[in-house]
Amino acid sequence: MNLRLQSIFIIFFVIVIGLKARESPYGPTGGRIITGQEIREAGITRLGDLIQIIEEWDSASLDGYNWIVSPSGLDHFQHQRWQAAVDGRVIDINLMGINSLARLPVNLNQIDYIEIISEPYLGEGFWAEGGLLNIVTRKADSCSRISMSLSAGNETGDPGPYRYTDLASPNVDRIGWTGGADYVFGRENIGGRLAVREEVNYPTDQNLYFRNGRIAGNYYPRQDLIALGGRLYLGRGNDATRIMVGHSRLDDFFFLPEFGREVPTRLNLYYLDIHHVRKFREGLSLGLFLAYNDNGTLKASNTLDLDFKWRTRRWRGGLEIQGSGEKLKGKAGLVFTKDNRGDRGDGNGGELIIADLYTDWKYRFSEAFSQGFSFGLSMGDSDNGLKFIGRTSWQNRTGYFMRLVGSYVTPLWAEENRLWYWSRNGFDFLNMDDSPFLHNDKRRRNTIDLTAGGPLANNLEFEIAGFYRNFRGEFYQNRVYYFIADDSSFGADISFLTIDKGSFGGVRMRLDWRLNSKLGLGLSGNRQEVLGGDSFYRATWRNIPETELKGRLCWRTNDNFVLNLSATYLGDRYWREYLRVEEATGDRFHAGLNDFWNIDLTAQIYFWSKKIRTVLAFKNILNSDIQYHPIGAEFDLSYFALLEFTTAL
């Protein structure tokens, strides 16, 4: 990183402001909270872009629409075991190893807050060993509200009038639009929400245009999402029931890493989740739930005539008993999961039943000190898995705290089965050698997270965290991509490798300052690297940047007008798997990605007693060379505008 730029960044943010500490950024589950207000002020206009404001998660994208994530080193970009939940209920959006957050049928303006859990976690009947993003929606108290929004964006760099001169250059991709409407209502014993949203994005950056245009055949490449979702809450006496239902359909240019390029396909998601809680007496309750998830792709027209038809149907049902006393709090549950995976419409999908038995306890030794643990046993497919999480926390009256979380997991093979099922179920064009993976029985993961912080001064909150991940017997794909000159696309040679031992660790730091009700500043930094492992493991983890810095300066008047300036520094990255591509294409595609600074500026204005919200956002105002993936888009200076109308009924 340029030293002068670093100095300017630090001086700029340290001189200008001093500020009052905000409320604790952690929720009751220990996850870090990003409020809906912070999300709106950051100028986020699409659900999938939430990934970009999570400081402790690293991400990469080809098209700026679908993101792959490494949640604080819990996982590599290759695996994507992190999970997404809405109001605490997990929804399976993972399709062929890719999580696309955009597919969740929740509108941005329905979000009360999001909760980021970057350590292994036991949720409501599910384990999230690879991190969790929980979207908590707003509740309506004794009222009904309706809102509608429309946003659109554009990227700079078009030829303009020079199109008709010798200085002509290609037209730059368009950034699409998002439109949504939602309805929220609440009464004494009943409440709910409904949402509908459409998003359009064009994966037509010059780096993507030729290969996507060629495989699309006779239409201009475009990603089109339609999502519908609802939630109903019923409460009476000691009984409470939550029902969630949703559907999304995404016409995507789906990048399958094992194939090496995007393929047009339609992704379908349906889900239904019913959760009932009966309270027997104060401190004792029983929860029952049943969930159905249908997640699949349909073949879309493509010039290679590839059939990506694939479907995973998942039934989950279980019960959980919860009890709490003065010092002791605990729960225990049993969950059955039945998966039909890889059904290509011929009834030949693999079926799998997993039983999860788990318990979670927390004992408060004193006002300041508590100890908790979660323990689980998974059984299925003639295999057993073990999960353990220990949590120690200390907090004094002045607000200083320390938290230590350690975990030990031996996962079921079946929980990693997303890859090898494909090659067995008709995806023979992938031609993957999976034999080393199938014979691996030494797989286990350990993690340690230590977080400490507190008020450094009356107006300054500080936090520092260290994390360590140790992986044994972890499988990886040895991907070697090559360039296909005919249509500027890529192919892949894939083989599976098992890593005997590898580890990853780092430190994070965060500062929150607030001078008064108008000015706020946040600073954070991550430094992380591979601590052990062979040369393949080390090279593979260099996909993830070792250094990341973020700063956010926010100025509010009377809540009607907010200016938000955010700065991000992302260190360099290296994707060894694209070395052959670099050699073949010369200066066009590079295995190494340069570090960059990205500065965004967002203005948000409310009108008409907050009925109308407008946002004008500028991304990458330095017009830095921003690229997250060696064969992905380059993100130039862009601008977005949003108009939202909300009214009570």
CB of 166 to other proteins, least distance (A): 10
Of the two residues 429 and 607, which places its CB atom closer to other proteins in the complex?
Answer: 607
Smaller CB separation from other proteins, 142 or 558? 558
Minimum gap (Å) between residue 515 Cβ and other proteins = 11
Query: Measured from the CB of residue 158, what is the shortest distance to other proteins in angstroms?
Result: 5
Given CA atoms 609, 611, 612, 618 in this order, what sign does their dihedral have? positive
Q: Let me know the angle formed at the C-alpha of 406 by 507 and 452, rounded to the nearest 5 degrees.
A: 45
Residue 634 CB, shortest distance to other proteins, in Å, is 13
CA distance 168 to 567: 32
d(CA 587, CA 270): 44
> What is the number of helices (H) and of strands (E) in the chain?
7, 35
Instruction: Give whichever of 504 and 635 is closer to other proteins, judged by the CB atom.
Output: 635
- Determine the Cα–Cα distance for residues 447 and 71; give it in Å rounded to an integer: 13
CA 426 to chain CA mean position, Å: 29
Contact at 8 Å (CB) between 592 and 578?
no
Closest CA to 629 of 58, 73, 82, 175: 58
> Which residues contact residue 12 at a Cβ distance below 8 angstroms, ignoring those fewer than 6 apart?
none
Shortest distance (Å) from residue 160 CB to other proteins? 3
Distance CA 472, CA 202 (A): 40
For the CB of residue 165, give the shortest distance to other proteins in the complex, in Å. Answer: 6
> Which helix H or strand E contains 210, and what residues bound it?
helix 206-216
Closer residue to other proteins (CB): 19 or 581: 19
Residue ranges that bind other proteins, judged by CB under 8 A: 2, 4-5, 8, 12, 16, 154, 156-165, 167, 169, 172, 518, 555, 557-558, 560-561, 563, 565, 599, 607-609, 612, 616, 618, 621-623, 637, 639
As measured in angstroms, the least distance from the Cβ of 222 to other proteins is 16
Whole-angstrom distance between the N-terminal and C-terminal Cα of the chain? Answer: 53
Q: Looking at beta carbons only, is 11 or 355 nearer to other proteins?
A: 11
* Residue keyed to tokens 């007693």: 609
Nearer to other proteins, 17 or 432 (CB): 17
Q: Would residue 131 be called left, alpha or beta, if left means φ above 0 and alpha means ψ between -120 and 50 degrees?
A: left
CB of 620 vs other proteins, minimal distance in Å: 11
Q: What is the DSSP letter of 124?
A: S
φ, ψ for residue 421, nearest 5 deg: -65, -35
The pair of three-digit structure tokens given for residue 119, joined into one six-digit string: 């350590």
Q: Which is nearer to other proteins, 477 or 602 (CB)?
A: 602
CB of 40 to other proteins, least distance (A): 18
User: Given the complex with other proteins, which of 45 and 70 has the nearer CB atom?
Assistant: 45
Closer to other proteins by CB, 30 or 571: give it.
571
Distances in whole angstroms, Cα of residue 482 to Cα of each of 111, 303, 373: 42, 20, 47
Q: Within 13 Å, how many C-alpha atoms sit on residue 443's CB side?
A: 23
